[in-house]
Structure formats: C-alpha cells, structure tokens
Amino acid sequence: MATKKKSVFEVLNNINVNEHTEQKGKLTYLSWAWAWQTTKKHYPEAFYTIYENDLGMNYHHDSRTAWVKTGITIEGLEHIEYLPVLDFRNNSIPVDKLTSMAVNTSIQRSLTKAIARHGLGLYIYAGEDLPDVPVWEDPKEKEVVLAALQDAAVNQDDIGIAEIWREVLNDNENKSQASKQSQQLWAELRHTPDTRQFLKESLDAIPA
C-alpha cells in the first residue's frame, strides 16, 4: 500500500524552530533568512511576492500609517500576509516618518508570517490574534481586595493576608491572569514602610 504523501503544512509544521527565534520585548521573532532557506530546502519551487502599490512602492498607506503586503506560494497555494510598518516599540510609524529600513524590516517579518501560514513556526504566533483580556473582569473587585489587604496589613493579620492572597491566586483558573492581578495589587497598595515589611513577610511565608 502506497504511503500517503504529507501535505506542505504537515511537513513544515513538524519542524522545530525554537533555536532560530529571537525574543524582542513580549514578542518572539523567527529568522526570515532561516525560514526561507528551510522552505526552499523542502520546496525548491516556492517563491515569494512583495505587492507594490499603484505607484510601484513596496508599501501601502492610508495617509496616516503604512503596511506591507506579501505572499508565499508553495505548490500552487499562496498565503498572503499584511503587516503594519512599526517602530522599535511596535507602534505604527506615521507616513511622513517612514524609513526604508522600517519598511524592509516589516517586509521580512511579513514574509516570515506568510511562511508560518504554510506551517513553519506557526506555533510561535499562537495568541497574537487574541484580544487583550482585562486584568480584572470587574474593576470593583480589585478595590475590594485592595481594601481587605490594607486592613489586614494594618491589623497585622498575617493569616488574613494569606487567605486573601490564596483566593486571588487559586480561584482564578487562568494562572497568567492571576499573576497579573497579584502584581497589580502589590503595585497599588498604599501603606507605611512598617506595614509594607509586614505585608511582604506575610506573603513570603505563604507556601508555594
């Protein structure tokens, strides 16, 4: 019985790209050169397209900000990716402040993401398309917890502090969200140096 040929996505998505990524801020980037080299190694006929605007420029704009449009074609299937032209803080660059370097960087990143749509390194972009989740579903909840922590600290109630903190960390199934909540609570607590030290010692004493 003939072995079924793997799809392009199956082949590329099965490649581990971890050693070829770079962390910048909160985002992870895959090397464009390596991604293209790997794609061509598996699919020599693959090619990319950089879509120009009506004036023949390699970016598009709406008179305010700009973006690039690229495509990667493998075995007749093209995946297109749009990407804004960003500065080093990942903010959109105004059209009158554009540089050729910024446009070129966005083109390379756009091409890398277009390759990812074919499967290579797609997993490193997981979550990018999800909306930001507010730290607290109800802002009033934070104020209630803050007030309770402040009262417990003023009254030197280490047991009360432990119970409140456990409730924040354990009642939320989303551990990342719980961590953000605890960090925000600590940052916003208002207390004297003595109370701060007591609060810190009480929190440090809570078993992990």
**Structure confidence by residue, pLDDT tens digits, 132-184:** 555 666 667 777 777 777 777 767 666 666 677 666 665 555 555 666 666 66
Locate tokens 């280490």: which residue?
Answer: 158
Looking at the fold, whether 155 and 196 belong to one and the same domain comes out as yes
Looking at the fold, whether 55 and 104 belong to one and the same domain comes out as yes
Looking at the fold, whether 121 and 198 belong to one and the same domain comes out as no
Domain boundary among 96, 125, 154: 125
Looking at the fold, whether 152 and 98 belong to one and the same domain comes out as no
Ranges of the chain with pLDDT below 50? 130, 208
Structure tokens at 144: 């209630």
DSSP letter, residue 5: P
Residues 6+ apart with CB under 8 A from 115: 12, 35, 36, 39, 72, 79, 121
Looking at the fold, whether 112 and 174 belong to one and the same domain comes out as no
Find the domain containing 144 and state its range: 139-204
pLDDT of residue 183: 65
The answer to the question of residue 53 being in a domain is: yes
Determine if the pTM surpasses 0.75: no
The answer to the question of residue 35 being in a domain is: yes
Looking at the fold, whether 113 and 152 belong to one and the same domain comes out as no
CB neighbourhood size of 168 (10 A):
17
Structure tokens at 58: 């390699």
Cα–Cα dist 18/180, whole Å: 26
Structure tokens at 112: 């890398």
The answer to the question of residue 71 being in a domain is: yes
> How many domains does the structure of the chain reveal?
2
pLDDT of residue 78: 97
pLDDT of residue 171: 55
pLDDT of residue 22: 83
Cα–Cα dist 62/165, whole Å: 48
Domain boundary among 90, 125, 160: 125
Domain boundary among 65, 91, 125: 125
Looking at the fold, whether 77 and 169 belong to one and the same domain comes out as no
DSSP letter, residue 121: T
The answer to the question of residue 23 being in a domain is: yes
Looking at the fold, whether 200 and 110 belong to one and the same domain comes out as no
61: phi then psi, degrees, rounded to nearest 5: -155, 165
pLDDT of residue 80: 95
